[in-house]
Amino acid sequence: MVLVEQVKDVPAYIRKMYGYNSFMNNFGVHIDEITCGGAVVSIDIDPQKHFNHRGICHGGVFTALADSVLGVTGASVGAAVATLNFSMNFIKNVHSAGRVYVRSRIRHHGHTTMVIEAEMYDAEERLMATILTTMFIVGRFEEIPAKW
């Protein structure tokens, strides 16, 4: 059995790991905060890029932002995850440019699945959506401790 040296600065390591994620980079997703079992990711909404024909932010932008936080959250405890089930309740939309962020936390961490819940907020701290997901644990980042 080969022992893998665990990283000391988990948030910095995960940010570097996701620095190569072309989807998050091209889409403009920022990793704002990483804690053990949680994360905050955000995006700066640009009406020219993100709005639909009705003059509001497309729901797919919010869904992509919400999905982006899931991998970061799993990685925060050393788990490589894939989405099994995703449920999002849209409460409010965005009608102008501004930052939107999602805050997540692990509610259940089993051997093969993980349940993550999250909430999305606008720049004025108004609740925009609630998210509940079940993730399949497809692997492990041995270098990231499960607790830190």
Tens-digit pLDDT profile for residues 53-93: 998 889 999 999 999 999 999 999 999 999 999 999 999 99
pLDDT tens, residue by residue, 94-104: 889 999 999 99
Using 50, 70 and 90 to split pLDDT, how confident is the model at 21? Answer: confident
Q: What is the 3-state secondary structure (H, E, C) of 38-100?
A: EEEEEEEECHHHHECCCCCECHHHHHHHHHHHHHHHHHCCCEEEEEEEEEEEECCCCCCCEEE
Q: How far apart are CA 4 and CA 11, in angstroms?
A: 18
CA dihedral 50, 121, 34, 45 (to 10 degrees): 20
How far apart CA 11 and CA 21 sit, in angstroms, is: 16
Q: Which residues contact 103 (CB under 8 A, 6 or more apart)?
A: 38, 39, 40, 69, 118, 119, 121
Q: What is the pLDDT of residue 2?
A: 67
Backbone angles phi, psi at 25, to 5 degrees: -65, -50
Tens of pLDDT, residue by residue over 112-137, are 999 999 999 999 999 999 999 999 99
CATH class of the domain whose range is 10-140: alpha beta
Question: How far is it, in rounded angstroms, from Cα 49 to Cα 34?
Answer: 27
| pTM for the model | 0.92
